[in-house]
Homo-oligomer: A and B are copies of this chain.
Amino acid sequence: MSLEQFFQAIDANQDIYVQRLKEIVAIKSVSGEPEHRSDTILMGEWLLAELERLGATTKRVEPGVQKVNGRTLPLPPVVLATYGEDPAKKTVLIYGHYDVQPALKEDGWNTDPFTLTEDAEGRLLGRGASDDKGPVLGWLCALEAHQQLGRDLPVNLKFCFEGMEESGSEGLDAIIVREAHDYFRGVDCVCISDNYWLGKTKPCLTYGLRGVSYFMMSIKGPAADLHSGVFGGTVHEPMTDLVHLMSRLVDPQGRILVPGIMDQVAPLTEEEQHTYEGLEFGLSDLRGALGANTEIHANVKDILMHRWRYPSLSLHGIEGAFYAPGSKTVIPANPIGKFSIRTVPNMEPAQITQLVKDYLHAEFAKLNSKNVLEVTCDHEGRPWASSPDHWNFVAGARAVEQVFQCKPDLTREGGSIPVTLTFQDALQKNVLLLPMGACDDGAHSINEKVDRRNFIEGIKLYGAYFHELARVKTNE
Q: CB within 8 Å of B: which residues of A?
A: 210, 212, 214, 216, 221-224, 226-237, 239-241, 243-244, 246-247, 250-254, 286, 289-297, 303, 306-307, 310-325, 327-332, 335, 338, 340, 342, 367-371, 378-379, 413-416, 444
- In the assembled complex, the CB of A325 is this many whole angstroms from the nearest CB of chain B, namely 6
A444 to B328, CA, bound (A): 13
Q: Are A312 and B240 in contact (CB under 8 A)?
A: no
A328 to chain B: which residues have CB within 8 Å?
Answer: 316-317, 338
Given contacts A222-B292, A342-B232, whether A244 and B240 have CB atoms under 8 Å apart is: no
- In the assembled complex, the CB of A309 is this many whole angstroms from the nearest CB of chain B, namely 10
Q: Are A290 and B235 in contact (CB under 8 A)?
A: yes
A286 to B234, CA, bound (A): 9
Q: A229-B413, A232-B254 are in contact. List 10 more A-B contacts (CB 8 A).
A: A214-B329, A227-B444, A228-B316, A230-B289, A232-B307, A235-B290, A237-B254, A243-B247, A317-B321, A319-B323
Q: Are A312 and B233 in contact (CB under 8 A)?
A: yes
A233 to B297, CA, bound (A): 9
Q: Are A379 and B327 in contact (CB under 8 A)?
A: yes
Copies in the complex: 2
Taking a contact as CB atoms closer than 8 A, the residue among B226, B296, B311, B415 that contacts A235 in the complex is B296
A368 to chain B: which residues have CB within 8 Å?
Answer: 252-253
Taking a contact as CB atoms closer than 8 A, the residue among B306, B316, B369 that contacts A322 in the complex is B316
Taking a contact as CB atoms closer than 8 A, the residue among B234, B311, B329 that contacts A295 in the complex is B234
A323 to B312, CA, bound (A): 21
Taking a contact as CB atoms closer than 8 A, the residue among B231, B293, B294, B414 that contacts A414 in the complex is B231
Q: Are A297 and B340 in contact (CB under 8 A)?
A: no
A294 to chain B: which residues have CB within 8 Å?
Answer: 221-222, 235-236, 369-371
Q: Are A307 and B234 in contact (CB under 8 A)?
A: yes
A294 to B371, CA, bound (A): 6
Of chain B, the residue at the smallest CB distance from A329 is: B340
Q: Are A227 and B367 in contact (CB under 8 A)?
A: no
Taking a contact as CB atoms closer than 8 A, the residue among B224, B314, B329, B416 that contacts A291 in the complex is B224
Q: Are B223 and A291 in contact (CB under 8 A)?
A: yes
Given contacts A371-B294, A378-B327, whether A229 and B214 have CB atoms under 8 Å apart is: no
Q: Are B212 and A229 in contact (CB under 8 A)?
A: yes
A125 to B322, CA, bound (A): 28
A385 to B290, CA, bound (A): 50
Taking a contact as CB atoms closer than 8 A, the residue among B317, B331, B379 that contacts A332 in the complex is B317
